[in-house]
Structures are given as structure tokens and as C-alpha cells.
Chains A and B, each alone.
Chain A
Amino acid sequence: MDITEREIEFRVNGTSHRIQIEPHRTLLEVLREKLHLTGTKEGCGLGDCGSCTVLIDGKPVLSCITLASEVEGKEILTIEGLVTGDSLDPLQEAFINHGAVQCGFCTPGMIMTAKALLAEKKHPTEEEIRKAIAGNLCRCTGYVKIVDAIKSVVEDKE
């Protein structure tokens, strides 16, 4: 079968990229292997665990089951894009301060999902926070400190 590479153009963390990809590559593969943004993790690879969550035009999506061919013209935000200069995002600070990180593997996805929630809803309730991160699995923390960390960012805004 004759399959040619496609050229796609999209923005990642504010920077435009125009790259050649094979049509069956996922966004996760392109982020990690072409752009070397290895903050986005592969857990299950099948859309169940949320580790690969990035934002596309502000919405949380699973980059392991997103075709890179489909992000043409879109704005992608990954965990690397949350840092401004030397300052971490308030969510990143909160995760550190609350001990919401243990092995750390779920953390980028968890923070990106929380970022989407907070952009959409300024003052989510604890129930809304829990519902939003239901698709981000953490096998270390038991979630309590993660929820506390996200809540603290909400409270700081008040």
C-alpha cells in the first residue's frame, strides 16, 4: 500500500510547527518523539487512564487516541506549556505544596484536566472536581491530596 507522509501545521504551547508525519501517528507519538515533549505520558495507550491528556483548543483530550492528522490548525497545550519563564502554573505549585505527587506518572495528565476544568468553571465544587478527574487514574495517592491541591487553587482565586 502506498502511503505518503502528510504535512501538518499546528501550534503547541504557543509555537507553530509544520512537520511531516505518517498518517497513522497519534498526537502522543508526535509530541514525544517528534517534538521531544516527553512531559505527556503514555499509560494504557487505549484511552482509559488519562496520563496522555493534553488540551486541544482548551478541551482535554486523550493524545494516545487522537490522530496527529486531525490536529491540523489546532492549538495544543501540554504540561510544558504551563510554565511562564521561571514560574510554575498555580496548579503545579499546588500539587507540590499539597504532596499531590507520588510516582508522578499521572501528574501531567491530571494537571491538564484540572487546567481545562478551571478554565471552564472558575469555582467548581469538590464533586465537580472529582467528576472532572474521574478519567485520570492515580495508583499512588488515593486522590485526596490531588483534590485538595485543585481545591486550593480554586480557593486562592476567591
Chain B
Amino acid sequence: MLRLTRCDYLAPETLEEALSIIVKEREGAKIIAGGTDLLVKMKRREVHHKKLVGLKRIPNLDHIIEEGDHIRLGPLVTHDGASRSLILRKYVNLLAEACGDLGSYQIRCMGTVAGNICNASPSADSMPSLLVLDACIRILNQEGERSVSLNQIFVGPFKTSLRYDDMVTAIEIPKPPPGSQGVYLKMPKVTKKDETLVGVALLLRREASTGKIERVRLGLGSVASIPIRAKETETFLTGKNPEDPRTLAEAKEILMREISPRSRADYRRHITGYLFEEGLRALLSKSS
């Protein structure tokens, strides 16, 4: 039997108690949410933590609520929970879709969206959607609580800007402007449950009278060392007619300059262009 090496497990009953443990233990303690990445790394002996700090005994950390112009997800919301949320389906369906199509059924029921952020995989499936939605994360540490934009979190593959004592307490998503349409498309490496080869999230709002693009956000997974926004492509597309084939061709050229896939680079570039085009087509058919 493949076993974990010995470690302790602590089950605080409040976030404050959890914080005081990780402050006291410094790098010796690690917060565990779903554990689908952490325990695998520990079993593979890639990492070791002396103490795991579980959050499951803290009440109500799996909430998804509307708060004015925001939607708030607690740190223990699973991908399965996110995919079924009527609030997410209503306002940010692309995120619900991404969460409902990630990994396997079991992984969706175990893994959390906050854990997916903290693990910082370049191919994490919920990130392109969260990036185009301008998501922020609430972070609690010894100095207090703060909000940080998701695009400031990732610094490299599996590396975040979070400190040892930073604890994610919520994910905040601004409701997109009315009339926005979003989509997340991905290509897995081999079979459906495999890691994502390329993931593309698009959020689009068109001017009602002209059909031109008023606001667009393009997020990409697995084509750079971290999940990214293609901001130059977004700027180029703003104000353009999305049905003009020349616009599309030029946008794809710009997009190719914004991505930097390492392995299987040519294939990933090809698939990125394809998924971008498919995503845009899907949104245009919805909005016209």
C-alpha cells in the first residue's frame, strides 16, 4: 500500500485558530483543503509537511453567496459544488462549466477552487475563467485581511506570491456587466479526464446597436508558465466587428505573440488559435 509518511493533523474550529497554528508552525504546517494535489505530492515524497491543518471542522466554508455586485465563494467550495451553484450558473456560467468539466467526478467532488488557485498549476482549469472575470482572493494573515487580484497571485509554475502565513478565506467575483456572454473551452492531453493541454476562456459584450465588441476578456491556461490574460488581443478586439474575418485573423496573430508554450509548442499554438476561434463563434451565435 502506498502510504503517507508520518505527519500530524490538526482540526481548528475557526479561521483565527487555523491562522494562529500556521503562524506558530511557520513552514512546518500546511493548510489542506481538498487534498487532491497536496496528498498526491506527499505520497510521491515530493513534499513533506510535519503538520496538516484541516479546515473541514470550520463551519460554512463552502458557501456561494451574492453580495451586492459580487459573488463570494468560501475556501472549501468544491468544483462539483461550483458547477451546481445556481448563482454561478446565472452570473458566471463559464466558471460553473469549467468546474463541471474538470478532472474526474471524484476529483470534482474533492478538490476545491481555492485549492486549485493555491496549487498554481499552469493548466488549472478554473483559472482562465476566474482571470477573465477579474476575480480577487481574500487573504487573511497575521497583519489582517486583504483582497488581491488573482493575476497577482501566480509567479511561476506551481508558485504563488502567497506567504507561509497567508490563508485564502474567499474568492470574490464581480458580476460581469449585463449582456456579457462567456465560454470556457479546453483540449485535454489524451482522454477527457486528463490534464488540460490548452484552456481558453472568453468573456464578451457587444454593443447592442452595432454588434461591435464593447468589452472582451481572454484568459488562457497551459500556454505559459502561469495562467494568463491575453491583454493585447483584448485591446485589439475592442471596438472591432467580431464577424470580420480579417479581424479574427489579425487577433489570432497577436494572440500567438502573447503566448509562450514550452512543450509541444506548435501543437499548443495551433490548438489555442482553434479554441479561441471556436469560443468566439460560440459566443457570436449566442449574442446574435
Contacts and interface: CB of A to CB of B under 8 A. Distances in A.
Contacts of B235: none
Given A1-B50, A46-B44, 11 more contacts: A22-B6, A24-B4, A26-B4, A42-B2, A47-B106, A53-B106, A60-B105, A67-B32, A72-B57, A117-B105, A135-B104
B8 A67 contact: no
Contacts of A122: none
* Consensus secondary structure, chain B interface: loop
A72 to B, nearest CB: 7
Interface of A: 1, 3, 6, 22-26, 28-29, 32, 42, 44-47, 50, 53, 59-62, 64-67, 69-70, 72, 113, 116-117, 131-136
Given A117-B105, A131-B105, A135-B103, A62 B9 contact: no
A24 B48 CA distance: 12
Contacts of A28: 1
Contact of A3 (B8, B80, B110): B8
Main secondary structure of the interface of A (DSSP, over half): mixed
B83 to A, nearest CB: 12
Contact of B106 (A3, A45, A61, A70): A61
B6 A67 contact: no
Contacts of B174: none
B141 interface: no
A46 B43 contact: yes
Contacts of A69: 9, 11, 54
